[in-house]
Amino acid sequence: MTEGRTEEAIKEKLEGRFGTNLSNWIVQRTRRMYVELPREALVEVVQFAKEELGFDHLSTITGLDAGEHLELIYHLFAKGLLLLNLKTKLPLSDPKVRTITHLFPGAEPYERELEDMLGATVEGLPPGRHYPLPEDFPPGQHPLRKSWKVSDAYPQEV
Amino acid sequence: MSKITIPLGPQHPALKEPGNFMLVLEGEQIVGATVRLGYNHRGIEKACEDRSFIQNLYLIERVCGICSHSHTTCFCMATEDAAKIEVPKRAQAIRVLVGELERVHSHLLWLGVAGHEIGFDTLFMYAWKDREQVLDCLEMISGNRVHYAINTIGGVRRDVTPEQKAEILKRMDILEERTKYYIQLATQEPTVLARAKGVGHLPTEEAKKRGAVGPTVRASNVPFDVRKDDPYLLYDELDFKVITSDSCDVFGRLVVRVFELLESFKLIRQVVNDLPEGPISVKVPRKLPAGEGVGHYEAPRGEDIHYVRTNGTEKPERVKVRAPTLANFSSIAYMLEGGYLADAPIVIAAIDPCFSCTDRALSISTSTKGEYSLSWEDLRKLGIEFYRSRGIDFTRIAK
């Protein structure tokens, strides 16, 4: 397929359906596209991408502490098409997001990781054990927050 | 019959790495399984934020002891995308070459482990003996058997000489012959068939739904291979096939891996015979401009993905690593259910799990004792003392 055509087609379809909810499109190169969306629209967009556009593989979810908010990036892949990176922001005061495990059961460890490592709250995630932190890790501490230090959890080690 | 729950692991459930599987048994049959991971969490992602890009390369290389090149290549590709760096063709070719040699080494290692898990230790010894051929190639090119350190941001660190090329081709011929023997063995040997056929069933739909990757999903008849579906480096110019199997069990995973060895030899020959001329790296500034990039790579165990965000300094803002084993864990619980306890080790081993990769990220150990080193003799004494203080005396036999 001609360079850039697939990217444009996917972008058009997503925009046609969700319009102004989507912002800051970046087509970085062939098969790499980034877009931002509000967290309220996230589940619907993921569902649409999966069911209508063929993004049937969730590669992973990246979470990061961006200062005033947490940023989540859902990396969706459609074989032979492109890697779509959906970004959404969660305010630190209320870091909630809905689960996508009903669409991608394999997302469970990725979502648990967001809860453990960044302190996001994933609503609708079935109760279960921690991943990847140990059960006796001090509650309320999230290692991937920029303010976290090893000494917070292990004072004796430093 | 009443149900009992037994823990398998965390010590040595199948491979020599920690992972815990709670198995609910009804007699010999497994009726439920839950997986518990995280024992190898080392804080690599957090540690990356504190180090420069070059230092991170060496840290990322240690995410995994087997697919070390996969992780650094994936990290480099993500960083190079973020900083808009063009990598020379020759460097890309050398990355492919080392990547495919690594795949050969990893698949042969797995073949040996699989043989060991089904009680077929002859296969284990054969496969690991042959694996030395490819490890020698890697050592010759890079100076190391497992942590090759060939990658750098913007290219590779060492070139390949004509003598090395000739040696690689010679060894590939030996390995190809051996692989043909393994193919025959995997598809005809009654011991292997009895232990692998129909074991650890994972239907196509279930594999897709659970997001399985690599040989695990290809053995469930899904032709998903990042090298074909999201070609990186030179893969879109090279000729190779994506191997799948429709048997959806351990046997399929075995077949996919041994046939993939042949494809890797094909790729290695193409790269070695047609190595592009030119420089092997470009100069990259220490501070990289702000940006972001995703590395997508087909590691021997499946899809590996790294996300890197740069912020204009010499350290990354965030590095995210998702190794293939994590994507396959959801499928393990499914594969174990309905099977027999005795098959659990081979079912777990069949995804070729790599717990270290999977658990990457916490607990940074900074010892208060300071640094000190022990000689082999001291270490031996320490071991004897350690056991003696616990009531086991080795003094008599340890002379």
Q: Which residues on chain B are in Cβ contact (under 8 Å) with A109?
A: 37, 326, 329-330
| Cβ atoms of residues A137 and A110 within 8 Å | no
ipTM of the complex: 0.92
Q: Using the beta-carbon criterion (under 8 Å), do A108 and B330 form an inter-chain contact?
A: yes
What average pLDDT does this structure show over A84-100? 93
Q: Using the beta-carbon criterion (under 8 Å), do A83 and B230 form an inter-chain contact?
A: yes
> What single-letter DSSP state applies at residue A107?
G
Residue A107, phi-psi category: left (phi > 0), alpha (psi -120 to 50), beta (remainder): alpha
| Among B290, B356, B320, B263, residue whose Cα is nearest residue B74 | B320
Flag residues of chain B having pLDDT under 50: 360-369
Tell me how far apart the alpha carbons of residues A14 and B227 are, in angstroms, rounded to a whole number: 27
| Cβ atoms of residues B318 and B309 within 8 Å | yes
Task: Output the pLDDT for position A35.
Answer: 93
ω before B353 within 30° of 0 (cis)? no
What lies within 8 Å, CB to CB, of B373 at 6+ separation is: none
Tell me how far apart the alpha carbons of residues B305 and B327 are, in angstroms, rounded to a whole number: 11
Tell me how far apart the alpha carbons of residues A136 and A21 are, in angstroms, rounded to a whole number: 41
| Cβ atoms of residues B96 and B233 within 8 Å | yes
- What are B222-277's pLDDT values in tens digits? 999 999 999 999 999 999 999 999 999 999 999 999 999 999 999 999 999 999 99
pLDDT for residue A120 is more than 50: yes
| Angle at the Cα of A24 from the Cα atoms of A22 and A28, rounded to 5 degrees | 120
Q: Using the beta-carbon criterion (under 8 Å), do A110 and B37 form an inter-chain contact?
A: no
What is the edge-to-edge ordering of all strands in the sheet holding B4-8?
Answer: B4-8, B20-26, B29-36
Please provide the DSSP assignment of B155-203 as one string: EES----HHHHHHHHHHHHHHHHHHHHHHHHHHH-HHHHHHHTTSS---
- What are B34-54's pLDDT values in tens digits? 888 888 888 889 999 999 999
| Among B323, B249, B253, residue whose Cα is nearest residue B68 | B323
Q: Using the beta-carbon criterion (under 8 Å), do A106 and B330 form an inter-chain contact?
A: yes
| Cβ atoms of residues B357 and B67 within 8 Å | yes
For A32, the closest of B294, B327, B329 (CB atoms) is B294
Listed by start position, the domains of chain B span: 44-325
Number of H helices, E strands in chain B: 15, 8
For B211, the closest of A106, A134, A156 (CB atoms) is A106
- Look up residue B327 and give its two tokens: 């994507």
What average pLDDT does this structure show over A27-48? 91
Cα dihedral B95, B360, B317, A145 in deg (nearest 10) = 170
Task: Output the pLDDT for position A155.
Answer: 82
What lies within 8 Å, CB to CB, of B25 at 6+ separation is: B3, B4, B5, B6, B31, B341
What lies within 8 Å, CB to CB, of B187 at 6+ separation is: B255
Task: Output the pLDDT for position B373.
Answer: 64
CATH topology of domain B44-325: Cytochrome-c3 Hydrogenase; chain B (1.10.645)
